Structure 1
Amino acid sequence: MTLLLQSDKSPKGVPLTDLEISWMASLPYIVSVPSTYIMAEIGDRYGRKLALLLATGSAAATWLLKLCSMSIWAFIAARILVGITMSGSCVICPTYIKEICDSNIRGALGCWDASKSLIWLRCKSKYDSTIKEEIDYIKEEHEKDEGQGPFLVMKILSNNILRRAFYISLVITLSRELCGLVQITTFAGDIFQLTVAQSIIKLSPNQKAIVTGFVQLCGVTLASVLIERCGRKPLIFIMSFISGLSMCVLATWFLLQHFNPPGYIPVISLCICIFCDNSGTLPLSLVLTGEMFSFKYRGTVLATTMSVACIVNFIQLLFFKSIIKVMGIYFVFYFFGAVCLFTAVYVMIMLPETRNRKLEDIYYDLSTSKEKMELGDRNTVSIPAFSYGNSIGWMSPMTLLLQSPESPKGVPLTDLEVSCMASLPYVVCIPGTYLMAAIGDRYGRKLALLTMSVTSITIWLLKLCSMNIWVFILARMLVGITMSGACVTCPTYIKEISDNDIRGALGCWGTIFFTMGCLFSYIIGDLCSYRLILLILLLVPVSHFVIFLTMPESPSYLLKKGKDEEASKVLMWLRCRKEYDLAIKEEIEYIKEEQKKDEHQAVFLLKNIGKDNILRRAFYISLVAAMSRELCGSVPILIFAGYIFKISSEGTGIELSPNQSSMVLGAVQLLGATLVSAIVERFGRKPLLLATCLLSGTSLCILASWFVFQNFDPPSWIPVTTLCIVIFCDSCGLLPLTLVLTSEIFSYKYRGIVLATTMALASIADFFQLILFKFLIKVTSACSVFYIYGVISILTAVYVFIKVPETRNRQLEDIYYDLKTKKEKRQLETVLQFRPINITNNMIR
């Protein structure tokens, strides 16, 4: 109808405008927000049957209005009624089906309509023991909900298990709305219209839309068959992953459209996306919500998640056509693909299987899957790292823009000004590291992380308010504070709230968010206007500040301040324990013992480290790792990515722009950071560091040789490939593991000051190399610079092999024993032979 009503043959007589079509498409979703609660209330108070009959009446009125009038206001009124029908189908239908079905087929019936499930239900003619057990179970479910009070959403959010179940329902529901299915089905004709020029498939846009509709039906039908065999979790994961890949393929087709890519790709990829969405998140989001909540909460949760999803749909449908015109359709489909892939990862980590299971069993998984909960709860901690990545990644596209004739400042910036902007964060980071460490030790890690968010907000506001070079420099100086927090406070906080067996993976979580932040800045830097970029990046720290207010303080800090009871409650929450058990008690005693050993030390912590042989060796390891990370070339590569690709592509015929090459680099960086979080607890710290440093050094030497032989026309793919390998190795080696190592080889007392000191020294090195980077390339050539980086990486690999101990799943005493010399170990063994009973941890050190 969109194509018909906007054509010259419109039955209305006058073609509808894009604005009118956008309102018609989006209005049902905004109307659905209040109507979901109305339908849920009717269903709870007067019965599910009456609510379903009202939804049917609303659907009938919709078509009668369209039959009786061609007025735009009649169309709008009809679309408003669609919102009421939508509420009934998305809230009452799955609730009703869940309540009348056996647990072994409720998923399949959740993909059908209510009338078929009623026919099946009536096939049982006698009141047997199975029926009696089911009635008893429903009564027991109701009894548990009695006395809960009317404020159901508050009750859900105040209960750990219900809150996690609610978050799962909300994420899956939002993923369903943001995966692109709504836009594709609503604007299918328009989307296919954009592909007509290159398409070899001789079908009209409407005929292609019919094909996708048929595929949609096939997907839903298949889901009803597979859902009880494969389960909910595998089906959502597989379908989300395939859909995400297909969306990215389609986005790439639109991006490379001027190169005449195969014309069959849009139809096939869209069909795959629609098939997967209708076999996965579309039916199963409702089935899951119906299965994870009891009768009392079911309607409220469905209404709430549906309302939030409808608000999102209203906004995206209203602005869908405008976004395509401003940013390009490939940006939209890349976003949809990213949402689908994120959903697949989230499902794999967080979602419990609900097939053929009762609420008690599902809630048991939510309460005992401690590692999954820690991963989910700690996402918030790493948002400052994402914001820090935004600041670092912002420089790459902005360097090219601000030094071009089209600079939003009016006058292009000089090399000296850009070098100062790039390097100043690292010199400010020197006092910033000690400042953040002092705030974290004196006032708590939580306040230090909130301070980071306030600083990030100030950075983007300054750039929005003025184009003066001194404002730019001030904003970049403040980046040094966020850098300090991301590299000192974040890993310290994560280490102190994590279990030993997953602290490495969680320590890499910050790296994942940092790389995501860089990639995000690369993408929007190439697609959006200067001011829009700043507005988008401003939302990140604002969101973190609001969300992080709900997070607890570090247990180590609370125990240091004598707040034992509060620390116990925090640990119980972090470890998903309902009671103060032996494991919590042992962990608290271990933290106290660790802090007691540090009480007798003097206030001059660095002096104490220098006097103690073991601590001094541990400090050298942290320092070498930190300096190697900064001097291996990854920092200037990330900041000047666009500039490096520009000088390496001159005369080579590379068709990617410098910014697009930077996006490839950012994607590889994110891939490396994601990989290391999965393998760091399997392979350990030392093997990963050794392998990545060696591979990175070799790649840098190859890149340097490419610049040496540039006049002999070497393969043009070498710069992009080698730089991608370097960034991949850095993001799954030195970048995350430097911070993880330092956190694991020092106790609470020394952790902050060591991270601050190594970070300060590394920042000095970064300041000088960034301010001189462009100058050195022009004076000595790029090959000399990259040979130096390659040699440093290879020397780091040798040092790691000889000096660095393995720290995975080990206590401090075991790590410090490995740091002893052979002579010290022999002395310790002698002491152990004569005084085995009185050995203490201090003697081992």
Structure 2
Amino acid sequence: MILDLKKYVFYNKGDIFQYVASIAGAFSIMSSGVNLGWTSPYLPILTRDDSPIPTTSEQGSWCAIAPLLGSPFGALSAMYLSDILGRKITTLLMAPIVAICFVLIAFSKNIWELTAYRFIIGATEGASYTALPMYIGEISDPKIRGFLTATIAIFAISGTLLINVIGSFMGIFTSSIICAGIPLIHFIIFAFMPESPYYYIKKNNHLAAKQSLEIFRGKADVVKEMENLRRAVTRQERSTKTGIIDIFNVASTRKACYIFLILNLTNKFSGKNPCLFYTETIFTESGSSINPTLSVIIYCSVELIAVVISTYFIVDTIGKRKLMITSTAGCALSVFCLGMFFYLKDFHIGVVENVDWLPITALVLYNIFFSVGLSFGPVSILSELFPTNVKAKALGIADTFSVLMGSLVSKLFQITMDEFGSMSVPFLFFAVCCIIGLVFIIKYFPETKGKTLEEIQQYLIGENNTSLEMANCNRM
């Protein structure tokens, strides 16, 4: 379904529909944030002695990472559906599945039912994280693409904050029924948005592509941009190398993979997923006098404010490269302080009695630094790096890799915490990983601010590097 531009007189509206489409699409990611953050308020309840659904620590850890385990199935499906049905339709199809699963969670009677439904929602998240970044990247004007792609991170954090707020005073049944309404909002609004002009050109439907571009640019004069898009997609689609293995065989896409790999591993091994899944547990274990539930809400609120400010006011001004460097350095320092606190608490009794404020301070600082760069860096860069002919497959593989690393890190956190009896070990490990990631980001991560998707492709191929001025990044 596409709005009739002339009938509703949407000319001269500027970028408004780019914002509307991006926000409407990002509601699908809010459900992801809810699902990922669900264990923070409810896992402590499930694992206590008077639990309404008896759950062991081991069972709880599997419930926590269930969305990550399910995500690859959705991502691998979406990498084909996005090219067959379109980026928009693929994202829309996930909404009813998510709504049904939240309703089923409300009526779940044992931990394995909860785990299964969270697994299924995780699969839809994988599909959304594959299709939606493509869609937003392809509809965006370069001057606002940084913010629009970052709406994915904003809505993911909003979902996490929402479930922690309502989870602090609502039971599983009531909160699940409320959360079932989020995908319905997404479906109702996003259904009216146009498909990506890139996808229409890919399918040789140039008239629909022009109409889509007119809506997203808010003007009728899109002839020049339409021609540039047509040439770019034609050049990118001309290659016969479109298989999964060719993503790694072609020099330019291999370079794109290296850049994503650096960002993604730094993102995951900074410790974000364990902090997300076990936020309330971390505050409880710290022995802080501050209420753990309130600490979680403060933690998520600060993250949301930080990512909104950084994406709306900063990313399209100073660019992603400086933000990634600042973000990674700040995360390294924050998790190091957190690790040292738990080390002193567990092995030097009495030393930290006067610094019980340190855990929430370190976690809030971690959240701020993570939010200004690493939170949206891997997702936003994915929408820019890969050519049209392999973009869907590349994003599907990237999301699969991302959630597998997230699962590994989360499980590693639980195993090391249980094995060593201290949270200091995993947090100090995360600090070391951040430092290693920082070195690679400084050396290899390019600046893409203000560049069209075609200009970025020319840089990766090795053409016009001087004119692109990619932040003096070393070529791989």
1:708 corresponds to which letter in structure 2?
Y
2:443 corresponds to which letter in structure 1?
I
Q: 2:82 and 2:326 mapped to 1: Cα distance? A: 34
> In the TM superposition, what are the counterparts of 1:153-232 in structure 2 within 5 Å?
159-161=8-10
Q: In structure 2, do the counterparts of structure 1 residues 795 and 379 end up closer, same or farther at CA, with 3 Å as the change threshold?
A: same
* Aligned twin of 2:98: 456
Structure 1 stretches lacking a partner, 5+ long:
1-153, 162-366, 830-845
Among candidates 212, 219, 244, match of residue 570 of structure 1: 212
* Aligned twin of 2:378: 738
Is 2:462 the counterpart of 1:788?
Answer: no
* Aligned twin of 1:42: none
* Aligned twin of 2:419: 779
Among candidates 245, 249, 253, match of residue 615 of structure 1: 253
Deviations, residues 505-543 of structure 1 (Å, cap 9, x unaligned): 101111111111110100000022321111111111122
Cα pair 2:35 2:67 within 8 Å, conserved: no
* Aligned twin of 1:669: 303
Give the drift of 1:158: 5.3
Q: 1:469 and 1:675 mapped to 2: Cα distance? A: 38
* Aligned twin of 1:500: 142
> In the TM superposition, what are the counterparts of 1:555-594 in structure 2 within 5 Å?
555-577=197-219, 579=220, 581=221, 584-594=222-232
TM normalised by structure 2 equals 0.90
Q: In structure 2, do the counterparts of structure 1 residues 636 and 427 end up closer, same or farther at CA, with 3 Å as the change threshold?
A: same
* Aligned twin of 1:467: 109
1:450 corresponds to which letter in structure 2?
L
Larger of the two Rg values belongs to structure: 1
Give the drift of 1:590: 2.3
Task: Say which SS state the counterpart of residue 494 (structure 1) adopts.
Answer: helix
Cα pair 2:154 2:308 within 8 Å, conserved: yes
1:774 corresponds to which letter in structure 2?
Q
1:778 corresponds to which letter in structure 2?
D
* Aligned twin of 2:469: none
Q: In structure 2, do the counterparts of structure 1 residues 155 and 605 end up closer, same or farther at CA, with 3 Å as the change threshold?
A: closer
Give the drift of 1:816: 5.4
* Identical-pair percentage: 25
Is 2:326 the counterpart of 1:682?
Answer: no
Q: In structure 2, do the counterparts of structure 1 residues 544 and 614 end up closer, same or farther at CA, with 3 Å as the change threshold?
A: closer
Q: In structure 2, do the counterparts of structure 1 residues 726 and 486 end up closer, same or farther at CA, with 3 Å as the change threshold?
A: farther
Q: In structure 2, do the counterparts of structure 1 residues 382 and 556 end up closer, same or farther at CA, with 3 Å as the change threshold?
A: same
Is 2:400 the counterpart of 1:760?
Answer: yes
Deviations, residues 15-48 of structure 1 (Å, cap 9, x unaligned): xxxxxxxxxxxxxxxxxxxxxxxxxxxxxxxxxx
Q: In structure 2, do the counterparts of structure 1 residues 155 and 481 end up closer, same or farther at CA, with 3 Å as the change threshold?
A: closer
Is 2:272 the counterpart of 1:634?
Answer: yes
* Aligned twin of 1:808: 449
* Aligned twin of 2:183: 541
Q: 2:209 and 2:146 mapped to 1: Cα distance? A: 22
Cα pair 1:428 1:477 within 8 Å, conserved: yes
Is 2:85 the counterpart of 1:447?
Answer: no
- Further displaced range: 808-817 or 493-502: 808-817
Q: In structure 2, do the counterparts of structure 1 residues 723 and 634 end up closer, same or farther at CA, with 3 Å as the change threshold?
A: same
Among candidates 142, 156, 159, match of residue 514 of structure 1: 156
Q: 2:413 and 2:178 mapped to 1: Cα distance? A: 30
Is 2:49 the counterpart of 1:405?
Answer: yes
Q: 1:741 and 1:481 mapped to 2: Cα distance? A: 22
Structure 2 stretches lacking a partner, 5+ long:
467-476
Task: Say which SS state the counterpart of residue 405 (structure 1) adopts.
Answer: coil
Give the drift of 1:373: 4.4
Is 2:356 the counterpart of 1:716?
Answer: yes
2:344 corresponds to which letter in structure 1?
F
Cα pair 1:422 1:771 within 8 Å, conserved: no
Q: 1:768 and 1:610 mapped to 2: Cα distance? A: 23
Cα pair 1:457 1:538 within 8 Å, conserved: yes
Cα pair 1:387 1:514 within 8 Å, conserved: yes
Q: 1:814 and 1:373 mapped to 2: Cα distance? A: 24
* Aligned twin of 1:478: 120
Is 2:74 the counterpart of 1:429?
Answer: no
Aligned length: 458
Pairwise CA RMSD? 2.5
Cα pair 1:384 1:482 within 8 Å, conserved: no
TM normalised by structure 1 equals 0.52
* Aligned twin of 1:659: 293
Give the drift of 1:604: 4.6
1:725 corresponds to which letter in structure 2?
L
Q: In structure 2, do the counterparts of structure 1 residues 815 and 786 end up closer, same or farther at CA, with 3 Å as the change threshold?
A: same
